[in-house]
Structure 1
Amino acid sequence: MTATLFPSARARLELPKPTFRFTRDRSGMLWSAASLVLVLAVWQLASVLIGDDESGMRLVPSITDVVSSYMVFADYWPGGLGAERTVSGAEPTIWGATLGMVYNVAISLSRFTVGFLLGAAVGVGAGLLVSWSPIARCTVSFPAHFLRMMPLLAMLPLFGLWFGSSELGTYMFTAFAVAVLLFVLTVAAVNNVPRIYSDSATSLGASRGRIYLSVVVPSITPNLKVGILLAVPFAWSAVLAAEVIGKQYGLGRILNFALLYAATDIVAVTALVVVIVAGCTHLLLSKVLNHLTRWVD
Structure 2
Amino acid sequence: MLQKSTQTRRVPSPTRSFTLWWGLLGLACLIVIWQLLSIILGVSQAGVKRVPGLQDIIGAMIQFSGYWPGGLGAGDVTRGAERTIWGAVLGAAYNSWFTLVRVLVGFAFGVIAGVGLGLLVSWSQAARRLFGASAHFLRMMPLLAMMPLFGLWFARSETGTYVFVAFAVAVLLFVITLSAVDGVPEYYVNYAMSLGASKLSVYRSVIIPAALPEIRNGLLLAVPFAWSAVLAAEFIGKQYGLGRILNYAQLYAETDVIAATGLVVVLLAAISFFLVRRYLNYLTRWV
* TM-score calculated relative to the size of structure 2: 0.91
Higher mean Cα deviation, 135-144 or 169-178?
Answer: 135-144
Counterpart residue type for residue 287 of structure 1: R
Q: Cα gap change, 1:25/1:234 in structure 2, threshold over 3 Å: closer, same or farther?
A: closer
In the alignment, which residue of structure 1 is the partner of 2:108? 117
Q: Cα gap change, 1:108/1:195 in structure 2, threshold over 3 Å: closer, same or farther?
A: same
In the alignment, which residue of structure 2 is the partner of 1:61? 52
Q: Indicate if the aligned counterparts of 2:128 and 2:178 stay in contact, CA closer than 8 A.
A: no
Q: Cα gap change, 1:32/1:192 in structure 2, threshold over 3 Å: closer, same or farther?
A: closer
Counterpart mapping for 1:118-137 below 5 A:
118-134=109-125, 136-137=127-128
Q: Secondary structure at the match of 1:219?
A: helix
Please say if 1:94 is aligned against 2:85. yes
Alpha-carbon distance in 1 for matches of 2:253, 2:152: 27
1:214 to 205, 208, 214: 205
Counterpart residue type for residue 212 of structure 1: Y
In the alignment, which residue of structure 1 is the partner of 2:176? 185
In the alignment, which residue of structure 2 is the partner of 1:17? none
Please say if 1:74 is aligned against 2:55. no
Counterpart mapping for 1:216-231 below 5 A:
216-231=207-222
Counterpart residue type for residue 120 of structure 2: L
In the alignment, which residue of structure 2 is the partner of 1:106? 97
Larger radius of gyration: 1
Displacement of 1:255 in angstroms is 0.9
Unaligned runs of 5+ in 2: 1-10
Displacement of 1:142 in angstroms is 4.9
Q: Cα gap change, 1:26/1:233 in structure 2, threshold over 3 Å: closer, same or farther?
A: closer
1:151 to 115, 124, 142: 142
Displacement of 1:55 in angstroms is 1.1
In the alignment, which residue of structure 2 is the partner of 1:38? 29
Please say if 1:259 is aligned against 2:250. yes
- Aligned-residue sequence identity (percent) comes to 55
Alpha-carbon distance in 1 for matches of 2:154, 2:12: 58
Displacement of 1:182 in angstroms is 0.4
Unaligned runs of 5+ in 1: 1-19
Counterpart residue type for residue 222 of structure 1: P
Alpha-carbon distance in 2 for matches of 1:135, 1:24: 46
Q: Indicate if the aligned counterparts of 1:229 and 1:285 stay in contact, CA closer than 8 A.
A: yes
Q: Cα gap change, 1:22/1:202 in structure 2, threshold over 3 Å: closer, same or farther?
A: closer
Displacement of 1:148 in angstroms is 2.2
Displacement of 1:146 in angstroms is 3.3
Higher mean Cα deviation, 185-194 or 42-51?
Answer: 42-51
Q: Cα gap change, 1:150/1:31 in structure 2, threshold over 3 Å: closer, same or farther?
A: closer
Q: Deviation per CA, 1:9-59, whole angstroms, max 9, x where unpaired?
A: xxxxxxxxxxx7876555544434433332222211211111111011110
In the alignment, which residue of structure 2 is the partner of 1:249? 240
Alpha-carbon distance in 1 for matches of 2:36, 2:125: 59
Please say if 1:170 is aligned against 2:164. no
Q: Indicate if the aligned counterparts of 2:132 and 2:175 stay in contact, CA closer than 8 A.
A: no
Alpha-carbon distance in 2 for matches of 1:104, 1:166: 17
Counterpart residue type for residue 199 of structure 2: R
Q: Indicate if the aligned counterparts of 2:236 and 2:247 stay in contact, CA closer than 8 A.
A: no
Q: Secondary structure at the match of 1:52?
A: coil
Please say if 1:239 is aligned against 2:239. no
Q: Indicate if the aligned counterparts of 1:53 and 1:59 stay in contact, CA closer than 8 A.
A: yes
User: CA RMSD, aligned part only?
Assistant: 1.8
Alpha-carbon distance in 2 for matches of 1:134, 1:32: 43
Displacement of 1:62 in angstroms is 1.2
Q: Deviation per CA, 1:139-180, whole angstroms, max 9, x where unpaired?
A: 644543332232211100000000010000000000010000
* TM-score calculated relative to the size of structure 1: 0.88
Q: Cα gap change, 1:22/1:236 in structure 2, threshold over 3 Å: closer, same or farther?
A: closer
Q: Indicate if the aligned counterparts of 1:130 and 1:141 stay in contact, CA closer than 8 A.
A: no
1:281 to 266, 272, 275: 272
Alpha-carbon distance in 2 for matches of 1:29, 1:203: 47
Counterpart residue type for residue 34 of structure 1: L
